[in-house]
Amino acid sequence: MRVYLDNAATTPLDPEVFQTMEPFMREFYGNPSSTHSHGREVRTAIEQARKTVAELLNASPSEIFFTSGGTEADNTAICGALKTQGMKHAITSRIEHHAVLHTLEVLESKGEVSLSFVETDDKGRVNLDHLMHLLKENDRSLVSLMHANNEIGNLLDLKKATQITHEFNGLMHSDTVQAMAHYPHDVKDLGTDYLIGAAHKFHGPKGVGFLYIKKESKINPFVHGGGQERNMRGGTENVYGIVGLAKALEIAYRDMEKHRVYIQGLKNRMIAKLRESISEVNFNGLSDQNESLYTVLNVCLPDTGANDLLLFNMDLQGVSASGGSACNSGALKGSHVLEALGTPKGRAAIRFSFSKFNTEEEVDYAVQVLENAMSPSNAHSK
């Protein structure tokens, strides 16, 4: 049996999405910047996709910009907001995705911004009182806090964090890659200035994402070289990717509650079976609680003395999982998120992440394989 439980890294393409994309790989190949009929029909598809995404987020189409993915969208929002708005201070946490952390750290190293870190506790909860304190001390700051953590699944009260930020004349950016399409994002209700999505996290194609920019919080272009995306991002558009993104988001919103109930059931099943099968098992962050993304479970295992072999042995038995973010190479390489939480270094951490395509049988098999991989005979094998 082959079991894929690394959906926080990427998800399989939905067949319905592929069917929508296929004509734009074969029949509709015009350059959307061309004025002839071949170009116009493709331009129409892009603008329809933009309208679809905007309607789902309760935004205006003019506030949606397509990118190559979440990392570019984060970079665009952060660099663009700081420069365009003349901001010299940013606030983030130490458990953000590297698309945010590394971007801000580079800007700080260049002397373009000073950086403050909001406190998090040993479960990864963001201290919103400390956020308020930092904003009081640093008026007009850019705040960047993710909605759902990609390693431990912790959920942020994004609306409250945005309200606090705006109270002190700041701007709010949120990396919403992991939460997008799993929860509704009504941008008018949230009030957030910038949020993002990446299609491959919700059964769309790789290499395409989007950035929402609130019209009152405009930024200057980050990628130059052409007039595409209303002069905001140069380069010929990834047409079939954009069409696929919109369809994948549409499907996710259409079936959101049904999939939430189903996937939460898979996660609960794994929690129960792990507790039955493995003594001293624990869970990092809030990943086993309701304050966590229902697609992510970060498992803290007893010290087997051979932590680096666990994922390898599981992979040999057909189970794909990860030790953390897909952007950190190495099976059980140290996680900056777990380090910030103070997780004991001698214990292995495995992130299982689920999708609508997983089954109960796959969950049961994965637990069995993990239990076998932790047995003394396998733990010390070479």
Q: 72: which 2 tokens?
A: 């570019």
DSSP state, residue 61:
G
- The C-alpha R_g of the chain, in whole angstroms, comes to 21
- Cβ of 130: how many Cβ atoms within 10 Å? 16
- CA distances, 12 to each of 5, 8, 159, 357 (Å): 11, 11, 30, 8
12 Rama class: left (phi>0) / alpha (psi -120 to 50) / beta:
beta
Which entry of 25, 106, 316, 327 is annotated as an active-site residue?
327
Decide if 298 contacts 285 (C-beta within 8 A): yes
Q: What is the DSSP string of 263-327?
A: HHHHHHHHHHHHHHHSTT-EESTTTTSTTB-TTEEEEE----S-HHHHHHHHHHTTEE-BSS-TT
- CA distances, 44 to each of 39, 48, 158, 230 (Å): 9, 6, 33, 14
Q: Determine whether 327 is an active site residue.
A: yes
CA–CA separation, 97 and 64 (whole Å): 22
Helix intervals (H) in the chain = 15-21, 23-26, 37-57, 70-84, 98-109, 128-137, 158-167, 187-190, 228-231, 239-254, 256-277, 307-316, 336-341, 360-373, 376-379
CA–CA separation, 69 and 62 (whole Å): 19
Give the list of residues 6+ apart from residue 352 with CB closer than 8 angstroms, or none.
5, 6, 270, 296, 297, 298, 299, 321, 366
Q: Which amino acid is at 215?
A: K
> Per residue in 85-123, is it b (16+ CB within 10 Å) or e — as a string?
bebebbbbbebbbebbbebbeebeeeeebeebbbebeeb
Residues annotated as catalytic are 327
